Amino acid sequence: MFLRPSTLLLTLFLALVAGSAIRKDVDEFDSNKGKDGIVDGDIMLTEAQLRILNGTAKRSKRQITKIWKKWPDAKVFYYYENEFTSLKRELMSYAMAHISSNTCVKFQESNSATNRIRFTNTGGCASYIGMNGGEQTLWFGDGCLIFGTAVHEIMHSLGLFHTHSRFDRDNFLSVSYKDVPENMVGNLEKETEQTTYNAVPFEYGSTMLYRYNTFGEGTLVSKNEDYQKTMGLRRVSFYDLVNINVRYSCGCAKSLTCENGGYTNPSNCATCVCPTGFAGTLCNEAPSNTIKLTAESYWKGYWVNFGYSTSIQTTNYYLAYLWITAPADKTIEVKIMDLSGFTCSYGCNYNGVEVKYMGDPRITNPLRCCAQDTEYLNQVISSKQNPTPIVMQQRYGSSKLTIHYRYVDTPLSSNKKSTNGYDNYQYYV
């Protein structure tokens, strides 16, 4: 066994910058403490919507569809208040561009459209659910300066709820009210099958899911403990984009044969939208910023520095990848040996590593960002993917990852295949 080094560093020149100091890890709920009229941490509701949720209005699927209105023709109008800073405009424009380039939803700046969103500096991070009619406000304060939070609030304005509010959330989360202030208990209520619908599997890596300690220590506990540090990630997942596409019935007249769970891009029907770790027209290529490794039948070692050549904190992630390949139908195994220069946090929102070993290439796999979580180090991870991508994310400075990897003769084809229960794509389980 031997160790091969490499370095993936980016000189910071085009990245959005939030300041030179690393700020306390906050989320939408933290930013909205003390703000009146907020439910579920960062959602504003109209009086009609509140009556529906409180059960004082009769509910039917038709009525609910009307209450959580979609934007006609998937076109959203918006404008910025004069005081909305240039940094926030750039960040919000980037978030809207990310959504529009992967879905059929389009955004157009207009302060005179009949239905429009007004972006304001004040009042934390909050949004109404869906299109309300007329002018509605999206609050984006100084505690919201991360790309995934911008997408999070826009997704609310498109009509999407939190992942921890799903009616099936108890299958995936244990919710404790022990340390939750009495006036915050309502923020943990579930939706019902009558008020929402689930279009994708429960996604621990969704930008719509809060952290383990958002409402109080141990409030939201993953029933799969591997995901505890992943919850609260603000990277924007593949299934987040699928959720938007299903909500707005996006599609193309002709579908491409996208691989690895990708889908034909409604914004550009000549290419596919690919899960994180895959790229190319048909999602069968490695992304840019990828180092390709070839596994052998014995353990090999590799370490890599990745990130920025500066300690300035950015508002979005620099992503780099390792792509481990093996002979066809062989099973790849990976061990994380060391995490150096990582910031341990719930949500891994400063830096982190994701080994994509699960059968569904679209789902977010558990992230690792805590060197002190030694139970995850030197543990064999058996992958259902060949090649196996490893996603490395960084928001400031650089980190060092050390891995061992090999393949074993166990055929991937000996595994059964299944679907996620929401579409027909089959993968090894």
49 and 11 inside one domain: no
Q: Are residues 10 and 98 in the same domain?
A: no
Residues 423 and 338 in one domain: yes
Per-residue pLDDT, 348 = 96
Task: Quote the pLDDT of residue 354.
Answer: 99
Residues 106 and 8 in one domain: no
List C-alpha distances in Å: 287 to 3, 113, 275, 319, 417.
23, 39, 10, 10, 26
Q: Are residues 11 and 93 in the same domain?
A: no
Instruction: Give buried/exposed letters for 67-82 (b at 16+ CB in 10 A, else e).
Output: bbebbeebebbbbbee
Domains in the chain: how many in total?
2
Compute CA 317 distance to the chain's CA centroid, rounded to the nearest angstrom: 12
Q: Are residues 12 and 100 in the same domain?
A: no
Residues 6+ apart with CB under 8 A from 320: 8, 289, 290, 291, 304, 306, 307, 392, 394
CATH assignment at residue 322: 2.60.120.290
Residue after which a domain boundary falls, among 112, 131, 163: 163
- Classify 96 as helix, strand or coil: helix
- 308 within a domain of the structure (yes/no): yes
Taking 70 as the pLDDT cut, the residues of the chain under it are 1-67
- Whether residue 237 is contained in a domain is answered as no
Are 370 and 291 within one domain?
A: yes
Among 163, 191, 221, the domain-final residue is 163
Classify residue 261: in a domain, yes or no: no
pLDDT of residue 187: 80
In a domain, 179, yes or no: no
- Phi first, then psi: what are they for 323, rounded to 5°? -125, 110
CATH number for 40: 3.40.390.10
The C-alpha angle 336, 398, 306, rounded to 5 degrees, equals 60
Query: If phi over 0 gives left and psi between -120 and 50 gives alpha, with beta otherwise, what is residue 280?
Result: left
Q: How far apart are CA 56 and CA 259, in angstroms?
A: 47
Q: What angle do CA 44, 48, 49 make, to 5 degrees?
A: 45
Residue 212 in domain: no
What confidence score (pLDDT) does residue 402 get?
98
> What is residue 9's predicted lDDT score, i.e. its pLDDT?
62
Contact indicator for 429, 384 with CB cutoff of 8 Å: yes
From 153, 191, 203, 354, active-site residue = 153
How much is the pTM? 0.88
Binding residues for Zn(2+): 152, 156, 162
**298 and 418 assigned to the same domain:** yes
Are 418 and 304 in the same domain? yes
Distance CA 174, CA 219 (A): 8
Domain stops at, among 163, 181, 213: 163
For residue 117, give its domain range. 28-163
> Based on the domain organization, do 9 and 40 belong to the same domain?
no
| Predicted pLDDT at 160 | 93
Q: How far apart are CA 406 and CA 418, in angstroms?
A: 26
Q: Is 262 a member of any domain?
A: no
- Is 62 a member of any domain? yes
Give the pLDDT of residue 196: 82
Residue 312 and residue 356 in one domain: yes
Q: Does 109 participate in catalysis according to the annotation? A: no
Does 399 lie in the same domain as 375?
Answer: yes
CA atoms of 185 and 219, how far apart (whole Å): 11
In a domain, 241, yes or no: no
How many residues are there in the chain?
Answer: 429
Sequence ranges of the binding site = 152, 156, 162
Integer angstrom CA distances of residue 415 from 172, 287, 421, 425: 24, 27, 18, 15
